Amino acid sequence: MEILRLLWFTIMLLFFSHLINVEGRHHFSKKPKSKNISYAPSPVDVHVDEQPPASSPASNVVPSDPSYGGPAGSTNSDSGCVFDVTEYGAIGDGSTDDTDAFRAAWKEACQVESAVVLAPADHVFMITSTIFSGPCKPGLEFQVNGILMPPDGPDCWPKEDSNKQWLVFYRLDNMTFTGTGTIEGNGEKWWELPCKPHRGPNGSTLPGPCDSPAMIRFFMSSNLVVRGLRIQNSPMFHMKFDGCEGVLIDQLSISSPKLSPNTDGIHIENTKSVGIYNSVIANGDDCISIGPGSSNVDIEAVTCGPSHGISIGSLGVHHSQACVSNITVRNAIIRDSDNGVRIKTWQGGSGSVTGLSFDTIQMENVRNCIIIDQYYCMTKGCQNETSAVCVKDISYRNIKGTYDVRSAPIHFACSDTIACTNITMSEVELLPHEGELVDDPFCWNAYGIQQTLTIPPIDCLQDGMPQSIGEDAYTCS
């Protein structure tokens, strides 16, 4: 009897347990669908990377901080509002003029916070010279995943368009230019114009550009991010920043042929608080050029070459004042270039270049690895003048590698009247790429110290300070 009661209790327990499990499978919660609010005709959804939490260090960094941001080409739109240019009539076949579609998409996206103007992959968009102007709502992103290019050469350039510039971003704040695509400049026919001569192979002279357009220009804008794009074959400068503040440039690939004239990779002028990181630049002129009015520029993990190196200047042209300060270049590679790190100023200018640091730079077959040239001139008709841009407080540390023996690896040609002062040399070791050691660096009116022995020895650098510095009239306020 006791066994029967135990058996009955077990059967009932299993029966009720089965009922509980069956009922449990019918009870689940389902989150209601969020409403999708559209601000433009048929915006498409794109993947939005998850943003870091408020406590994450990435949420509190400044634009020039190398730890800022996520992967190249990712959007930062919380609204999910994407303005695909193909929805505005862009064809993307490489020959149709898609300018109106881009302008229409930009105009509407400009009014929406965290909007994305999208040039999608698998399209080739041709647009003419265009100014994308603000002010716009914050967080605007211009994302190029396809190919974007101008008309093919000067003969196809619309007569009514400016031939000084192609893409201009004007009066913008908190804007990102990114994507996985390519900005193609179609520069070859511009390089061949018979206006400005430039050096060709084997000592020959080739024609060069007249009023060739700069490819991408940011003007009077702030808090900008440019990331992840491939930019190539510009008619003139690949990218210019003028009158801007707070710029992050990261993970760019910039390229044009070695003999393409005036194709500076990145040019900075009248711009403050800039970070240039993790980029590769090969072109026919300066890899990075820094013009007057620039300060607080940090360049790190950049590879240059072939190129004309990283240049401060030219400065002081046409008796102008030039003020450049607090520039750092570190952990860089410069290869197969006409110059390494260069400061170049015209005679007759005024102002100052101060607070420059070149640290941990690998040179590979570079002419003029370290150069200060205060007699910069593009013709043979320049005359000697007494005034000059003052150059002081320059540090060269851990500069190593090989140089092209056609030029001395170190060249300090400073003004007769205003000496270069407080130059610091430490761990500079430069050996010939091929041929015999050139052990005769050039110095003229240059003062500084060697903290370690250098290769080659720099016996011409003068100790201390000159009796008359003459810099007071030329320093910047």
List residues with catalytic annotation: 285, 308
In the chain, the N- to C-terminal Cα span, in Å, equals 107
Relative to beta strand 266-269, strand 288-290 is parallel
**Peptide bond before residue 456 is cis, with ω within 30 degrees of 0:** yes
Q: In angstroms, rounded to a whole number, what is the distance separating the alpha carbons of residues 405 and 233?
A: 30
- The residues near 356 (Cβ < 8 Å, ≥ 6 apart) are 312, 327, 328, 343, 393, 394, 395
Among residues 241, 354, 363, which one has the least CA distance to residue 310? Answer: 363
Residue 361 burial (10 A CB sphere; 0-12, 13-18, 19+): buried
Residue 284: burial class (beta carbons within 10 Å; 0-12, 13-18, 19+): buried
Closest by CA to 383, choosing from 466, 456, 319, is 319
d(CA 227, CA 278): 10
Angstrom distance (rounded) from CA 336 to CA 330: 18
Residue 123, helix vs strand vs coil: coil
177 Cβ contact list (under 8 Å, min separation 6) = 141, 142, 144, 169, 216, 224, 225, 226, 227, 229
236 and 213 in contact (C-beta within 8 Å)?
Answer: yes
Rounded to whole angstroms, the Cα distance separating 194 from 208 reads 6
* Burial (Cβ within 10 Å: 0-12, 13-18, ≥19) of residue 469: middle
Contact (Cβ atoms closer than 8 angstroms) between residue 447 and residue 415: no
Q: Which two tokens stand for residue 172?
A: 């913008």
Q: Bridge-partner residues for 429, per DSSP?
A: 400, 455
